[in-house]
């Protein structure tokens, strides 16, 4: 059953057995219930005067006056108090009665009535009810009957206060649970956001912001991982190392903005010819690398040829590049381990052979482990 379909007593697990137990603990007997019911007419007769006196005293407390607020609210409170006093003397204190007391507690809590103010109000109400008893049972022969009525009133008011405080406590627990859930949701959302931001920052720390390629740090991370895989599965890995020719002249004559634009064009050209499994990186300055897993030297050369063809069709501003390509093929069947530094050094050395050739005759050059500098 949904909570909204339950009564307040059911929500708080207050059963008829629990109600009977509380009556027993407060020594509320059938005689008490009978004497309360027998005197109902008496309190109905003096109801208006009691209500007036009660709220005259209540509003003398500044905090209570602020809570009441205005004349319309005061009128509603007086009507509610009238109903409550009449119910006090119904003589039937079952689940229906208890649910009404619980609802009163919930309303008081929502209004912001503190437990201190509520206890003060109940003491004032008891005094008002006692005055009516004293006024009626003032004769000597009525003394015992008056005391019995007062005792019954005191017991039933304590009975009511128990349930009102049950709602106060339950409301505080609900608020604490809600706050805990809110904190938990906030912490979870914060954790997700921190994870997201951390991932973004990590990605940014591994990316070259100008070209969108991996930076040198990421390049070495990828190369170590791919070399390990190549060694484990006995598969070739090729590394292409390229350096731009004429880039410094472009920077000097047209400015760094033109140079930055060209670098971003190189990055785009590299991404266009590489597969998802390949890693295109800006190694630094105007030097770039491509890690090509599961790729032989011949296939790596084909990739580089496509890159050159692609770049020639872009706004290259007369800049070309020299390429060195090395591969792990020669070590696949050997006992030696693959080494990142030696692989990069070999590709770099081959690139400089291409660069030397380009100085003799301008153009794109590729040098590999298997052949000398070749103009494309």
- Asked whether residue 68 carries a pLDDT value surpassing 70, the answer given is yes
Can you name the CATH fold of 216-375? Alpha-Beta Plaits (3.30.70)
Cβ atoms 271, 213 nearer than 8 A: yes
**109/116 Cα distance (integer angstroms):** 12
The mean pLDDT of the chain is 89
Indicate whether 168 pLDDT > 80: yes
- The distance in angstroms from the start CA to the end CA of the chain is 79
Q: Which fold does the domain 3-184 belong to in CATH?
A: Globin-like (1.10.490)
Residues 6+ apart with CB under 8 A from 356: 373
How confident is residue 243, by pLDDT bands cut at 50, 70 and 90?
Answer: very high
Nearest by Cα to 354 from 336, 327, 374, 331: 374
Instruction: Tell which wins on pLDDT, 294 or 183.
Output: 294
All structural domains of the chain with their residue ranges: 3-184, 216-375
**Share of residues in the chain with pLDDT > 90 (%):** 63
- pLDDT grade for 273, boundaries at 50, 70 and 90: very high
Question: What's the chain's Rg over C-alpha atoms?
Answer: 45
Task: Give yes or no on whether 3-184 and 216-375 have one common fold.
Answer: no
Which tens digits make up the pLDDT trace of 301-317? 999 999 999 999 998 99
Q: How far is CA 321 from the centre of its chain?
A: 50
pLDDT band at 267 (very low <50, low <70, confident <90, very high): very high
CA proximity to 226, closest of 324, 371, 344: 344
Averaged over 66-74, what is the pLDDT?
A: 86
Beta carbons of 375 and 364 less than 8 angstroms apart: yes
Is the distance from CB of 128 to CB of 75 less than 8 angstroms? no
pTM of the predicted protein model: 0.53
Phi and psi torsions of 304, nearest 5°: -65, -40
Distance (Å, rounded) from C-alpha 2 to C-alpha 202?
Answer: 46
Write the pLDDT tens digit of every residue in 21-55: 999 999 999 999 999 999 999 999 999 999 998 88
Q: Where does the pLDDT of residue 67 fall: very low under 50, low under 70, confident under 90, or very high at 90 and above?
A: confident
C-alpha to C-alpha distance for 96 and 102, rounded to whole angstroms = 10
């Amino acid at each position: 059953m949904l909570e909204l379909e339950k009564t307040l007593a059911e929500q708080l697990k207050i059963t008829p057995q629990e109600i009977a137990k509380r009556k027993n603990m407060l020594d509320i007997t059938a005689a008490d219930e009978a004497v309360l019911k027998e005197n109902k007419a008496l309190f109905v007769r003096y109801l208006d005067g009691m209500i007036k006196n009660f709220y005259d005293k209540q509003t003398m407390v500044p905090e209570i006056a602020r809570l009441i607020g205005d004349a319309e609210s005061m009128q509603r409170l007086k009507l509610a108090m009238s109903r409550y006093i009449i119910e006090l003397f119904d003589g039937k204190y079952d689940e229906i009665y208890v649910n009404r007391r619980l609802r009163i507690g919930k309303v008081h809590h929502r209004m912001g009535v503190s437990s201190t103010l509520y206890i003060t109000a109940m003491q004032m109400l008891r005094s008002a009810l006692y005055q009516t008893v004293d006024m009626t049972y003032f004769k000597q022969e009525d003394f015992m009957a008056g005391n019995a009525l007062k005792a019954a009133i005191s017991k039933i008011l304590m009975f009511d206060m128990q349930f009102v405080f049950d709602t106060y406590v339950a409301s505080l627990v609900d608020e604490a649970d809600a706050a805990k859930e809110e904190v938990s949701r906030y912490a979870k959302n914060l954790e997700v956001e921190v994870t997201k931001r951390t991932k973004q920052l990590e990605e940014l720390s591994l990316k070259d912001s100008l070209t969108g390629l991996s930076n040198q740090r990421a390049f070495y991370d990828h190369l170590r991982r791919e070399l390990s895989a190549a060694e484990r599965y006995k598969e070739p890995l090729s590394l292409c190392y390229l350096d731009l020719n004429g880039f410094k002249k472009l920077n000097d004559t047209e400015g760094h903005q033109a140079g930055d634009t060209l670098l971003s064009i190189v990055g785009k050209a590299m991404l266009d010819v590489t597969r998802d499994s390949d890693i295109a990186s800006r190694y630094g300055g105007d030097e770039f690398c491509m890690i090509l897993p599961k790729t032989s030297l011949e296939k790596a050369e084909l990739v580089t040829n496509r890159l050159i063809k692609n770049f020639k069709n872009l706004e290259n501003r007369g800049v070309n590049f020299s390429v060195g390509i090395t591969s792990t093929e020669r070590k696949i069947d050997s006992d030696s381990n693959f080494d990142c530094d030696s692989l990069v050094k070999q590709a770099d050395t081959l690139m400089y052979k291409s660069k030397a050739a380009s100085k003799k005759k301008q153009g794109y050059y590729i040098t590999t482990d298997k052949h000398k500098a070749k103009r494309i």
